[in-house]
Chain A
Amino acid sequence: MLHRESGVFKTSYAADMALYPLPIARWTVAAIILLFAVVLPLSLHEYYLSVINLSLIAIVGALGLNILVGYTGQISVGHAAFMSVGAYTAANLAVKLGLPFWVTLPAGGLMAAFIGAIVGIPSLRIKGLYLAIATLAGQLIIEWIINHTPAISGGAQASIQVPRPALWGYEMKTQGQLYFFLLFFAALAILATLNLVRSRIGRAFVAIRDQDIAAEIIGINIFRYKLLSFAISSFYAGVCGVLYTYYFGIANYEAFQIGVSIDYLAMIIIGGLGSVLGSILGAVFVTMLPIVIRLTMEPLAGLFFNAGEMSSVIASTRLVLFGGLIIFFLVVEPEGLNRLWRNIRNYFRVWPFSY
């Protein structure tokens, strides 16, 4: 339609390096930024912002997991544990040393990256399901250590209340204020990932995913890049955990248990392995779909049932619909929502002259 894709007219390295070479893509991105930074926060009710906030946090975590699982081909079911490492690091720094979020957030990420690299060591020798079990062990060990170390967990309750994030004395506590806080870091994470995956490091990850022996032969240091992948992925997870901590105002390891790791794996599989857009779509899908289903069902169920029955019906039907829709989307396009979106886009790219 509006695309101008004929020929390569690049005259500078900058033009060649651009994330979005086409003008229409740049306009679209600008429009999306405008939408999220100005239009949505001004027009949406706080409730809808809270739903977007949850999605923004999930996007950071999903991007991290996709770097590891989608780009490097190493499976991890310990993602939630790395989040808890970030969460407790930040909470301890924020409470015991009174540090602001712009110190605790990278610190939480770095600590998670360090722990993640250690948990990733088995990946040097084992692959696939075996690695999944090794990372599962990592998840349980980290949970156990936090639960049994009062110096980390802050006492029997294993939860540490943190103050709201503040910038130059301005405290962010309403959903609207937290929206900008989370949007900034989610946008940063997206931008960083887009650039990472087309860098030398990102290409090395993909080479390892596709055939690690071949990658080693062409000169990629498997040891370094596999652990780097675990570290970067865990850094994102740690940041995600810190964001959760500031969003809820508390670090609590019970919010980062094995089920959460599975949820994040579901996000990237539904969204599409090895794609940035897929991580975003998957995170939004898994976070918002149950809510959307409930919002649509509430007026419908209200016609047939009283309040008590309605709650029971909605709760059960929602699970059925959620599961059904996941199966539907995966059957329609096994490579995830990202591929589905690309198929649609490619169809309309030459529409109506498809030949």
Chain B
Amino acid sequence: MNYTTRWLGAAVAAGALALAAGAAYAQDKEVVFGLQCDRTGATQTVGIFLCPGYHDYISLLNSKGGVEGFKIRVMEIDHEYKVPPAMEAHERFKKEGVVLESLYGTPQTAALTKKLEEDKILGTSPGFGTAAAADGKRYPYVFPIAASYWSQGAAAVAFAKKELGGSLKDKKIAYLFYDNPAGKEPLVILEDLAKSESFELRIFAVPAPGVEMAAQVLDITGRYKPDFIITHLFGRSPSVSIKELKGKGYPLNKVVSFVWGASEADIKAAGGFDVAEGYHTLQFAGVGTDFQVIKDINAMYQAQGKPAPKEQEISVFYNRGLMIAALHVEAVRNAIKAKGGAKPTSVDVKNGMEAIKGFTLGGMVPPMAITPEDHEGGGWVQVWTVKGGKLVKNGEWFQAYRDVIKKHLAAVN
């Protein structure tokens, strides 16, 4: 061995040491998030827009120096909307030391509920899972952080009431839903409200895969002739419902859809914004690109010489990704502050999540208050209506019939 190789070896060793030290330092000042996604499975039409939104928000945050001096690393696992890979993803996240997880999908949320509690890692399930998970005492580590199907059902009734002139007495409301547990979940709330508001409720189930509903729509428009229709559909079926209702001549401004039938993609698949003019949608995150955070993201991409992300085209899902990421970051921010700047554990982050209040991200996120009792944050929604080729905000954030929801939450046990 001559001198050159020896020196080279020493240099390499020193470099490796420096790298290892750097990595160790980076890990001290790094918080890991676990993100479960479906980019290739049954609900990929959501995942391919939602998950990039999540990543973009975290990149923006990291480019501005992170949260309270900590950088965030997102570890994403695509579970293809299958249940066993969701458990694998959770174990992998645990191995990587995540402080929280973003769950995706109702069966996956159900399958992980127990494990999350045992491992003391919180999982957020906006728009998924059981409405009962809003009860933080019963489900300590599951955070819906968005209006549950119960809250959406109550909000849809409140909206119908407003649209029908302030009273639902002797009105007829049709509920068109996907025939699965998620579709049936709001029924208890709707039936309860039908009694207290004295309107007539009739339900129309659409069997899986939900692309054929001519019979149900004909029944609604031809025979039942309701004053208002509430739809709760998934996947391809919302677009079919818009098309069918339009085809039968039902006025779409008397239709309100739950959050998973509410994206630009559904409207485009139904034949475009012209066809769907007047269609109302419930949203748990702001819609469109007219937000400061999206301008910041586009500026970040521009500085790198890249165009704005094309996923913003379906802003309903993209913005939900931003919202989930933003709430995760706020939870971590609260946790770091509570610990005086030290690295938070997953339990600290859970407490931080339960301290989120008054965070609105420039109007994109509802004014929710997450507490140890209420993991839903109040069940806020906003109505956006198809008008003149885009979704237009139709009123401010609102919550409806909280007393009814609370009564049912208490009755779950």
Which residues of A pack against B, CB within 8 Å? 45-47, 50-51, 54, 57-58, 144, 147, 153, 156-159, 161, 164, 173-175, 247-250, 252, 254-255, 259-260, 263, 287, 290-291, 294, 306-308, 310-312, 314-316, 318-319
Contacts and interface: CB of A to CB of B under 8 A. Distances in A.
A319 B107 contact: no
> Which 5 pairs across A and B sit closest by C-beta, in order of nearness?
A308-B55, A249-B114, A311-B76, A254-B107, A50-B91
Interface of B: 35, 37, 39-40, 42, 48, 51-52, 55-56, 58-59, 73-74, 76-78, 82-85, 87-88, 91-92, 94-95, 106-107, 110-115, 118, 130, 132, 179-181, 184-185, 187-188, 207
A201 B56 CA distance: 60
A255 B111 contact: yes
Contact of B73 (A247, A307, A311): A307
Contact of B52 (A159, A248, A308): A308
Given A156-B187, A255-B111, A316-B40, A248 B83 contact: yes
Contacts of A254: 83, 106-107, 110, 180-181
Given A46-B95, A47-B92, A157 B185 contact: yes
Contact of B111 (A147, A175, A250, A308): A250
A307 B207 CA distance: 38
A156 B181 contact: yes
B180 A311 contact: no
Nearest to A155: B181
26 contacts: A45-B95, A47-B94, A47-B95, A50-B88, A156-B185, A157-B110, A158-B180, A159-B110, A164-B114, A248-B83, A248-B114, A250-B113, A252-B83, A252-B107, A254-B106, A254-B181, A255-B107, A259-B82, A263-B82, A291-B85, A307-B55, A307-B74, A308-B56, A311-B39, A312-B39, A319-B40
Contacts of A249: 111, 113-115
Contact of B76 (A58, A175, A259, A307): A307
A254 B113 CA distance: 15
A279 to B, nearest CB: 17
B95 A290 contact: no
A45 to B, nearest CB: 6
B78 A315 contact: yes
Nearest to B41: A259
A318 B79 CA distance: 11
Contact of B84 (A164, A174, A287, A311): A287
Given A46-B91, A252-B110, A255-B111, A158 B39 contact: no
Contacts of A51: 88, 91
Contacts of B207: 144
B87 A50 contact: yes
Nearest to A255: B83
A157 B180 CA distance: 8
A139 to B, nearest CB: 12
Given A147-B179, A254-B107, A314 B78 contact: yes
